[in-house]
């Protein structure tokens, strides 16, 4: 689990540095901060995860001091911290979900399957019935009709996985599904905003027609933190 998440984070961060190269991100500081967040989550949980990612700021500042690039320090440091927090911290929450006592594996697979189901049904629903654009200036392909289809699929998967396995009540499983149904599309839209700012369609070509690693992970970078805190609140 840790190895897969670490590889995914490395690839996604590389794609983000390319998207944000106009701001001259201090990529070494971002890689270190994200790695510390992942290691902290794996070894010691939430506190060390946060402590690890916070190291990105002083590291980025230190590198900027000795750097010879003329890019504004505000842009360079801010972009570096954004990458480490958005990608490193977002993926680290998957590790925290997996580490929840007794039912971490069930919860992790529920989050993964619910988000994937929502994304798939949102695409199909949008293609079949989509008429009303959700965010035309950010992601023209997304529609409110697709969102409704995707949200229904996400809630259904959460209900089946968690209520039927006697982990949550009906109401709790539906609440978690709603949280995921809102957070995952927001993660997708956030990445779309980053790509639009960079003037590209996909974050990379690693997965061919499916884009880059960041294109596949964007929904989880918002959904995983939201799911973790929702689970803590519900249980």
Which of 70-74, 143-147, 191-195, 223-227 is predicted most confidently?
223-227
Averaged pLDDT, 54-75: 87
Averaged pLDDT, 144-157: 93
The pLDDT score that the predictor gives to residue 99 is: 93
Of 7-11, 67-71, 227-231, least confident by mean pLDDT is 67-71
Q: How far apart are CA 117 and CA 125, in angstroms?
A: 12
Q: How far is CA 105 from CA 8, 145, 201, in A?
A: 19, 32, 34
Confidence of residue 136 (pLDDT cuts 50, 70, 90): confident
Please give the structure tokens belonging to residue 51.
Answer: 């402590």
CA atoms in the 13 A half-sphere facing the CB of 78: 7
The pLDDT score that the predictor gives to residue 219 is: 94
Of 32-36, 81-85, 210-214, least confident by mean pLDDT is 210-214
For residue 234, the Cα-to-chain-centroid distance in whole angstroms is: 21
- 115 pLDDT more than 90: yes
116, 119, 120, 124: CA torsion to nearest 10 = 170
Across all residues in the chain, what is the average pLDDT? 90
Please give the structure tokens belonging to residue 190.
Answer: 């956030």
Q: How far apart are CA 107 and CA 167, in angstroms?
A: 9
Confidence of residue 121 (pLDDT cuts 50, 70, 90): very high
Nearest to 49 by CA among 39, 57, 59, 58: 39
Averaged pLDDT, 198-219: 83
- 150 pLDDT more than 90: yes
Averaged pLDDT, 101-124: 91
- 139 pLDDT more than 90: no
The pLDDT score that the predictor gives to residue 164 is: 63
The pLDDT score that the predictor gives to residue 15 is: 94
pLDDT in tens, 151-173: 999 999 999 888 766 778 888 99
């Amino acid at each position: 689990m840790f190895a897969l998440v670490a590889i995914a984070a490395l690839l996604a961060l590389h794609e983000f540095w390319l998207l944000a190269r106009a701001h001259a991100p201090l990529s070494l500081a971002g890689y270190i901060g994200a790695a510390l967040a992942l290691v902290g989550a794996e070894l010691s949980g939430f506190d060390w995860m946060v402590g690890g990612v916070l190291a990105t700021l002083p590291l980025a500042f230190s590198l900027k001091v000795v750097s010879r690039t003329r890019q504004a320090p505000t842009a360079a440091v801010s972009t570096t911290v954004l990458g480490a927090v958005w990608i490193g911290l977002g993926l680290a929450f998957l590790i925290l979900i997996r580490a929840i006592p007794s039912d971490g594996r069930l919860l992790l697979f529920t989050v993964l399957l619910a988000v994937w189901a929502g994304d798939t049904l949102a695409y199909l629903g949008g293609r079949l019935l989509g008429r009303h654009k959700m965010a035309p200036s950010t992601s023209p392909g997304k529609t409110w009709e697709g969102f409704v289809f995707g949200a229904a699929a996400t809630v259904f998967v959460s209900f089946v996985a968690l209520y039927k396995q006697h982990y949550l009540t009906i109401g709790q499983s539906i609440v978690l599904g709603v949280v995921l149904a809102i957070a995952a599309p927001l993660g997708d839209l956030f990445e779309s905003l980053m790509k639009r700012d960079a003037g590209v369609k996909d974050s990379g070509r690693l997965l061919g027609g499916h884009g880059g690693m960041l294109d596949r992970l964007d929904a989880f970078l918002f959904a995983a933190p939201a799911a973790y805190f929702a689970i803590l609140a519900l249980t």
